[in-house]
Chains A and B, each alone.
Chain A
């Protein structure tokens, strides 16, 4: 296998990299994600890839995008944060670049990256959750990515965990990602600050801000790392929701390894510990079954690029 390009299309940035057969990223290129034009987004993706293709011989391009991707890996059916509806992204980009292009769900790409080169190398049954603003899921069964009948499997963040709970962008209520994501962390932190809690006021001062509207996930993580009790508690709660949800997911797929990645996983042990405790506690019939291992992702923000590039080299995406 030769070189391929992986492209991670995020809400603000388009990050591309040339990836070798060893899963290592060589050259990189980056563009801002255009605000709401699908044409401009496709153009920016082409620009980033073309910049790399100029200098490198690549055999394929893989694009990881948030949203529902058709099972033939060419069309974005629906993207929550971009204006894509039935967008033939793969064909459009391929026509410009003159190389084969596949489109993958971004969380699937990240899961594949961790499976092929990261925290779950050679693990045949794994579940990877990417905890960022929302929660993305990727599932590997018997060494193959789970795609489902229509290509939209492993939308784990939109499993309902609270009847009549918080509204979600997917149109539902009480989705898991409303409780165990970066967005949930910030929402809860702000709510606590607005409630007038002294502990939250202290957290704001540790973060160096006075207005709770300025709070961000990384700020809370930093405050927790510095030992702020309010921030520690907030991450603890998040971890509990994460672990409880993962226990349900383990009953479906029976994986041997669960990997937690994404921006929020930067909190490491502050998140992982409570997640693992909740997971072990909530695993059904826990005394009478093997328990999967539980760990942090290893590839960081590059998982999506590496995974998309590697999947692009595999004809069936396996």
Chain B
């Protein structure tokens, strides 16, 4: 089997669910598994990951595993510094999982993984300056320049959701007030809808009915469904979120000047009900408007599985690279190296360069060249 045809597993670790899939080089998902996230304990999460991988491995020949996790992933992409929904603090996830699986593992921020797949297979194909915004409960962000994920110095660039847009605004779980994700996310949509219903306003009648009369049961998808059916209040609620989305995008355009914004995540299911007001607000807020080229704002096309596909594809990139290097040098196989939990100097070098390739730069150092350098030493 040619390596370029090899399959990899992508795993998306959310606050409540672990979703995994076997992904081919074209980004097709061949097999899927879903588990509840067992507890917040890191060991048990590792157990769940290992179980899922063994299960999928029994039916498919896979060469690597990519894990997308909500949180700060460090610059070497081996540790999760901080995850808002899990009890991970400086968790050396990559090495721990590699040891258990005997397969190369890549750990990536979930929004970065989703952006990578949109660039490879989705709404961002061919865009040299891409910014992806994932609207879930919060806001995830990613920057891709010339097909390279921009991770920043410590691996935590692109945390757009915590850019402040309202001084002294709503409290945010990051510890601040007025973060963008308090105004343009699924949580914001739900909060506003519930508040409206709680106010007892008759305009919220349809909303309340959809939630069996209990304002606390109102959620984002409910609002979106009602809006699609033409309920004027639901349309307005999405308009408000869309407007905040456009205002934040204008800030990002001032700072990053992308060619395209791809908007994904659950809230983007609302489509034009969200994006039309976002574009309007963007155009009205953008600095120097009328005197500069403007970015396109489009919807993501890969849906909720973008993160899984992206993590799998990033794992393939890295594994393909590592094997090419290894096959030519030492007898150390991927499995024994991984089991030992140690990596050779060459592997570390290769990892670093592929990290740069899928991370910081387009042009990777030539593998042959790297080999020479290693043998000369």
Q: Which residues of A contact B (CB under 8 A)?
A: 68, 77-78, 85, 124-125, 137, 139, 141-142, 146-156, 158-163, 168, 170-172, 175, 244, 247-249, 251-256, 282, 284-290, 292
User: Among the listed B152, B157, B247, which residue makes an inter-chain contact with A160, where contact means beta carbons less than 8 Å apart?
Assistant: B247
Is A150 within 8 A of B250, CB to CB?
no
CA distance A156 to B152 in the complex (A): 17
Other than A68-B291, A172-B285, A289-B82, give 14 A-B pairs with Cβ distance below 8 A: A68-B292, A85-B291, A142-B150, A152-B293, A153-B255, A159-B163, A162-B167, A168-B287, A252-B163, A253-B255, A254-B158, A286-B175, A289-B81, A289-B154
User: Is B264 interfacial (CB-CB < 8 Å)?
Assistant: no
- Are A248 and B163 also in contact (CB < 8 A) when A68-B292, A175-B287 are? yes
CA distance A214 to B246 in the complex (A): 40
CA distance A161 to B255 in the complex (A): 13
Residues of A within 8 A of B162 (CB): 248, 251, 284-285
Shortest distance in angstroms between B325's beta carbon and chain A's nearest beta carbon? 22
User: Is B288 interfacial (CB-CB < 8 Å)?
Assistant: yes
User: Is B119 interfacial (CB-CB < 8 Å)?
Assistant: no
User: Is B78 interfacial (CB-CB < 8 Å)?
Assistant: no
Residue among A170, A171, A251 facing the most chain B CB atoms (10 A cut-off)? A251
User: Among the listed A150, A151, A288, which residue makes an inter-chain contact with B72, where contact means beta carbons less than 8 Å apart?
Assistant: A288
9 residue pairs A–B, Cβ–Cβ below 8 Å: A149-B129, A149-B295, A152-B292, A160-B250, A253-B152, A254-B157, A282-B176, A289-B72, A289-B156
Per-residue CB proximity of B111-155 to A under 8 Å, as 1/0?
A: 000000000000000001100000000000101010000111111
Is A147 within 8 A of B153, CB to CB?
no
Shortest distance in angstroms between B92's beta carbon and chain A's nearest beta carbon? 15
CA distance A211 to B315 in the complex (A): 67
CA distance A162 to B168 in the complex (A): 10
Residues of A within 8 A of B157 (CB): 252-254
Q: Which residues of B contact A (CB under 8 A)?
A: 72, 81-82, 84, 89, 128-129, 141, 143, 145, 150-160, 162-167, 172, 174-176, 179, 247, 250-252, 254-259, 285-293, 295, 360-361
Shortest distance in angstroms between A315's beta carbon and chain B's nearest beta carbon? 16
Is A284 within 8 A of B174, CB to CB?
yes
User: Among the listed A158, A252, A289, which residue makes an inter-chain contact with B287, where contact means beta carbons less than 8 Å apart?
Assistant: A158
Is B257 within 8 A of A254, CB to CB?
no
Is B255 within 8 A of A170, CB to CB?
no
CA distance A155 to B288 in the complex (A): 10
Is A255 within 8 A of B254, CB to CB?
no
- Are A142 and B361 also in contact (CB < 8 A) when A149-B259, A158-B288, A248-B164 are? yes
CA distance A132 to B257 in the complex (A): 23
Is A252 within 8 A of B285, CB to CB?
no
Is A156 within 8 A of B257, CB to CB?
no
Shortest distance in angstroms between B130's beta carbon and chain A's nearest beta carbon? 9
Is B176 within 8 A of A284, CB to CB?
yes
Residues of B within 8 A of A154 (CB): 255, 257
Residue among A162, A170, A252 facing the most chain B CB atoms (10 A cut-off)? A252
**Closest 8 CB pairs between A and B?**
A254-B152, A148-B257, A158-B287, A288-B82, A78-B291, A284-B162, A149-B129, A149-B259
Shortest distance in angstroms between A43's beta carbon and chain B's nearest beta carbon? 24
User: Among the listed A137, A255, A282, which residue makes an inter-chain contact with B152, where contact means beta carbons less than 8 Å apart?
Assistant: A255
User: Among the listed B153, B251, B256, which residue makes an inter-chain contact with A148, where contact means beta carbons less than 8 Å apart?
Assistant: B256
Residues of A within 8 A of B164 (CB): 161, 244, 247-248, 282
Give the secondary structure class of B's interface: loop
Give the secondary structure class of A's interface: loop
Residues of B within 8 A of A290 (CB): 153-154
- Are A284 and B172 also in contact (CB < 8 A) when A124-B153, A163-B165 are? yes
Is B287 within 8 A of A172, CB to CB?
yes
CA distance A129 to B203 in the complex (A): 47
Residues of B within 8 A of A282 (CB): 164, 176
CA distance A146 to B257 in the complex (A): 9
CA distance A255 to B155 in the complex (A): 10
Is B289 within 8 A of A171, CB to CB?
yes
Is A146 within 8 A of B256, CB to CB?
yes
CA distance A141 to B172 in the complex (A): 28
Residue in chain B with minimal CB distance to A127: B255
User: Among the listed B82, B155, B160, B288, which residue makes an inter-chain contact with A252, where contact means beta carbons less than 8 Å apart?
Assistant: B160
Residue among B128, B247, B291 facing the most chain A CB atoms (10 A cut-off)? B291
Residues of A within 8 A of B141 (CB): 252
CA distance A125 to B151 in the complex (A): 10
User: Among the listed A124, A151, A285, A288, which residue makes an inter-chain contact with B257, where contact means beta carbons less than 8 Å apart?
Assistant: A151
CA distance A156 to B287 in the complex (A): 10
Residue in chain B with minimal CB distance to A245: B164
Residue in chain A with minimal CB distance to B159: A251
Is A148 within 8 A of B258, CB to CB?
yes
Is A155 within 8 A of B255, CB to CB?
yes
Is B288 within 8 A of A170, CB to CB?
yes
Residue among B129, B143, B152, B175 facing the most chain A CB atoms (10 A cut-off)? B152
Residue among A163, A170, A285 facing the most chain B CB atoms (10 A cut-off)? A285
Residues of A within 8 A of B154 (CB): 254, 256, 289-290
Is B288 within 8 A of A171, CB to CB?
yes
- Are A252 and B151 also in contact (CB < 8 A) when A68-B292, A282-B176 are? no
User: Among the listed A68, A159, A244, which residue makes an inter-chain contact with B255, where contact means beta carbons less than 8 Å apart?
Assistant: A159
Shortest distance in angstroms between B113's beta carbon and chain A's nearest beta carbon? 17
Shortest distance in angstroms between A228's beta carbon and chain B's nearest beta carbon? 27
Shortest distance in angstroms between A304's beta carbon and chain B's nearest beta carbon? 20
Residues of B within 8 A of A124 (CB): 153
- Are A249 and B288 also in contact (CB < 8 A) when A244-B164, A289-B81 are? no
CA distance A286 to B175 in the complex (A): 8
Residues of B within 8 A of A141 (CB): 145, 150, 152
CA distance A142 to B163 in the complex (A): 22
Is A152 within 8 A of B288, CB to CB?
yes
Residues of A within 8 A of B290 (CB): 171
CA distance A90 to B291 in the complex (A): 19
Shortest distance in angstroms between B75's beta carbon and chain A's nearest beta carbon? 9
Is A284 within 8 A of B257, CB to CB?
no
